[in-house]
Amino acid sequence: NFSPPARFDEARRVAIFGGTHGNEMSGVTLVNLWVKNGSEIQRKMVDTKPFITNPRAVEKCTRYVDTDLNRAFTPENLSALGEGDLPYEVQRAQEINRIFGPKGSPEAYDVIFDLHNTTSNMGCTLILESSKDYFNLQMMNYIKVTALRSNTEYYPRFSCKSVNIVLCDWFIAGLEVGPQPQGVLRSNIFEAMRVILKHALDFIELFNEGVEFPTCTVEVFRVLERIDYPRDANGNIIAMVHPNLQDGDWEPLNPGDPMFLTFDGKTLHYQGSGTIYPTFINEAAYYEKQQAFVTTRRETLVASAIRKA
């Protein structure tokens, strides 16, 4: 099976976003650090730009001011008129699109990392928008292999969204590290995010130097559906994530397994038809998005060999 490597342009301009949610402290802290002194994130022939995407939310240590910035990059929002009358995060989305995009234009950034924390016990998770992007898959593979070799405490896992949910068209990789409460900075979580980014930037540098990365397989978790909390007629939550499921991100959930525990002690069981792998279990920010956890299935993706053009 000898096909030539897929060619990609050098990744010359890399952005690192922190504070997309103003209370997810690892990214806020790292980006602020690197804005002050960016030597740690410099690589040969790469221009790395650390950037606080939602400064007002960061200032208030809140997830968002008017609306969730991480849901604001829709085509409608990006072309909306009204400037100062628009919700703050829509204005920010337009500004960020101007500075770092749009994709396809000569000024667009090649790779963007968006740093997040979660209250869920997800360890280090890399979130891709597309499963067909060999450059990203190769980067994930490199990070995983390197992290395993260097014995990091958190084993990086990769989550791939269903192809139907595409929020933006960039080379954007979400990096989600948890568990960490909102508004709190934990040293182990901070260091894990820092190390993952180090590996990612190393990969880009090696790629730009002409290293060929041979074909590889990557295990991913493809997002299937969102499961909400049981609620009463008024929309109030009437049960909690069951203690057996709490903190069980990435562990199989089988039909019949405990899923929720009502406030008066009754267990509700998972009624699906097959085993799934739950994640984003009990994420604080998702109560208002009607999401107790998300189901995924395991897939193995193949990335062809890649090399710079």
Partner 1 sequence: TSSRICERGADVAVCGGTHGNELSGVYLVRELLKAKDIVMEEEREEPASVLMVLANPRAMQQCRRYVDTDLNRCFTHATLNGPISDSAPYEMTRSRELNAMLGPKGSPGAVDLVCDLHNTTANMGLCLILSLACLFQRQMPDVPMRFIHFDVSSKESYSLDSVGKHGFAMEIGPQPHGVVRSNIYTAMKDGVQHMLDWVRLFNSGTIFEAGFVDVFTIVKNIDYPRDSETHNITATIHPQLQDRDFLLLHPDDALFQTFSGETLRYKGNEPLYPFFVNECAYYEKGIALSLARKNTVAYHNMAFKVHS
Q: Which residues does the annotation place in the binding site? A: 21, 24, 116
Between 119 and 159, whose beta carbon lies closer to partner 1?
119
- Closer to partner 1 at the Cβ: 173 or 281? 281
Of 1, 236, 271, 300, the one binding partner 1 (CB under 8 A) is: 236
- Side-chain half-sphere exposure of 62, counting CA atoms within 13 A: 9
List binders of partner 1 among 89-128 (CB under 8 A). 119
Nearer to partner 1, 20 or 208 (CB): 20
- 107 tagged catalytic: no
With CB under 8 A as the contact rule, the residue among 65, 78, 237, 268 that binds partner 1 is: 237
Which residue among 76, 83, 85, 264 contacts partner 1 (CB under 8 A)?
264
**Minimum distance, C-beta of residue 236 to partner 1, in the bound complex (Å):** 8
65 near partner 1 (CB under 8 A):
no
User: β-strands 172-178, 123-128: how paired?
Assistant: antiparallel
What residues are designated binding site for Zn(2+)? 21, 24, 116
The widest CA-to-CA distance across the chain, in whole angstroms, is 62
Instruction: Tell me if 85 contacts partner 1 by CB under 8 A.
Output: no
Binds partner 1 (CB under 8 A): choice among 241, 276, 294, 306:
241
Q: Does 289 bind partner 1 (CB under 8 A)?
A: no
- Least separation, in Å, of the C-beta of 206 and partner 1? 25
Tell me whether residue 72 or residue 281 sits nearer to partner 1 (CB atom).
281
Position among 5, 6, 8, 32 found at the interface with partner 1 (CB under 8 A)? 32
HEC string of the chain equals: CCCCCEEECCCCEEEEEECCCCCCHHHHHHHHHHHHCCHHHCECCEEEEEEECCHHHHHHCCCCCCCCHHHCCCHHHHHCCCHHHCCHHHHHHHHHHHHHCCCCCCCCCCEEEEEEECCCCCEEEEEECCCCCHHHHHHHHHHHHHHHHCCCCCCCEEEECCCCCCCCCCCEEEEEEECCCCCCCCHHHHHHHHHHHHHHHHHHHHHHCCCCECCEEEEEEEEEEEECCCECCCCCECEEECCCCCCCCCCCECCCCEEEEECCCCEEECCCCCCEEEECCCCHHHCCCCCCEEEEEEEEEEECCEEEC
The answer to whether the CB of 45 falls within 8 A of the CB of 208 is yes
Considering the complex, what minimum distance in angstroms separates the CB of residue 119 from partner 1?
A: 4
Judged by CB, which is closer to partner 1: 103, or 186?
186
Q: Which residue has the tokens 């990070």?
A: 143
Binding track, positions 165-194, relative to partner 1; x by CB under 8 A: --------------xxxxxxxxxx-x----
Instruction: List the beta bridge partners of residue 160.
Output: 128, 222
Q: Which is nearer to partner 1, 130 or 244 (CB)?
A: 244
Residue of the chain from 33, 108, 127, 224 that contacts partner 1 (CB under 8 A): 33
- Interacting residue ranges for partner 1, rule: CB under 8 A: 29, 32-33, 61-62, 119, 179-188, 190, 236-237, 240-243, 246, 261, 263-264, 282, 284-285, 287-288
Catalytically active residues are: 176
